[in-house]
Amino acid sequence: MMKTMRTQVGIVGAGPAGLLLAHLLHLRGIESVVLEARSREYVENRQRAGVLEQGTADLLVETGLGERMLRQGLVHDGVMLRFAGRTHRIDFQRLAGAGVRIYGQHEVVRDLIAARRAYEGPLCFEVDGVRLEGITSANPTIHFRHEGAEVELACELVAGCDGFHGVCRPSIPSDEIRFYEREFPFAWLGILAEAPPSSSELIYAHHERGFALLSMRSPTISRLYLQCAPNEDLAAWSDDRIWSELTTRLATRDGFVLRDGPILQKGVTPMRAFVAEPMRWGRLFLAGDAAHIVPPTGAKGMNLAVADVRWLAEAMGAFFHQRDETLLEQYSDKCIRRVWKVERFSSWMTSMLHRITGQSEFEYRIQLAELDYVTSSEAARKTLAENYVGLPLYEALP
């Protein structure tokens, strides 16, 4: 038996993009239904990025989602670049007049789910068989299975927030969309450790053995990464080997001490850059990882998704309240302009900090010169700072 549902906006994906869009629409009095293939437990516990741009943090507070973030998140007014055994601080507040906040993506998702549950917004976990129909018509539908029933969700607009491997982007005909992508020849071996952070701010380390990153999730939990091969065998990396390699790559001439502890999680993250254009087809609008992937070096993935849905919520508000499609028509162009700026910054950070397989001594020395320039030039430091804390959200189209 087919079950029929109706809403204004069908949202596929309950990650930060989908859930935040649903929340922003709710604040505008617009109904939505959120569909998610995974379980609630999985979504609330998957470890992802943890750096929030100033604008992202401000939005969470403005929309009533910031209570836990303000209480638990760590405010960072700068970041450390480390190379040749020396550490150089980039002062965000002085250079860009803003900072960032360390607060795990899974914590943001928990806050969003709690808010949606509080106002009883429809949120369906563990759905499968999702299929989009009539996307170029005025009445698109989403078909799926949930709790043993076949469901048809009728809506006016569809938001594809279901990630890189989701079903929404492949629903667009191949001759209506273009892909731009780059696979980097390395990956990150990441760990979550029960260890107090060894620095009050993030440390990005360039080392002849490869890149390393010291980050954190709380005053007692550290998040660290090592550059590794894309096909790295985790079984070959004992806890002792991981800590030894991190100690080597993060070492300084003045005796930096890395605090270690039990490793709670470990995994390998591939490095990829990807952009799909346009981000709209008919009544389907892509947002977040469904439309673009950035290498994690610039800490931009979730922040870019937030920028997408801020624009999308505004455009959908104009559509439903004034029946004005102007902002919907501009959505892809406005997003893509920001996407490519963020791709540029993230790729630049990645190329500057990682050792490349087969890299010549000349290329290695160029990397060191780039780092020397970035950390010694006021203009270069300011460029890094303003990109890291977040570019302005609203810019006029050229």
Q: Tell me which residue has tokens 């492949």.
A: 170
Helix axes 361-376, 378-389, angle to 10 degrees: 90
Q: Is 108 helix (H, G, I), strand (E, B) or coil?
A: helix
Which of 103, 225, 331, 388 is catalytic? The answer is: 388
Q: One of 206, 300, 334, 354 is an active-site residue; which one? A: 300
Cα angle: 56, vertex 275, 397; to 5 degrees: 65
Which of the following is catalytic: 23, 197, 204, 295? 204
H or E stretch at 45 = helix 40-45
Decide if 204 is catalytic.
yes
Question: Which residue of the set 76, 207, 292, 334 is catalytic?
Answer: 76
* DSSP type of residue 119: T
Angle separating helix axes 361-376 and 326-353, nearest 10 degrees: 120
Which residue reads 């990025």 in tokens? Answer: 49
| Side chain identity at residue 162, one-letter code | D
Q: Is 354 assigned a catalytic role? A: no
Contacts of 91 (CB under 8 A, 6+ apart): 77, 78, 381, 385
State how far the Cα of 269 lies from the Cα of 283, in Å rounded to an integer: 33
Q: What one-character DSSP code corresponds to residue 327? A: H
Is 388 noted as a catalytic residue in this protein? yes
From the list 16, 140, 295, 296, the catalytic residue is 296
For residue 163, give both structure tokens: 């990630």
Whether 162 and 37 have beta carbons less than 8 Å apart is answered as: yes
Q: Which residues pair with 131 in a beta bridge?
A: 143
Catalytic residues: 76, 204, 296, 300, 388
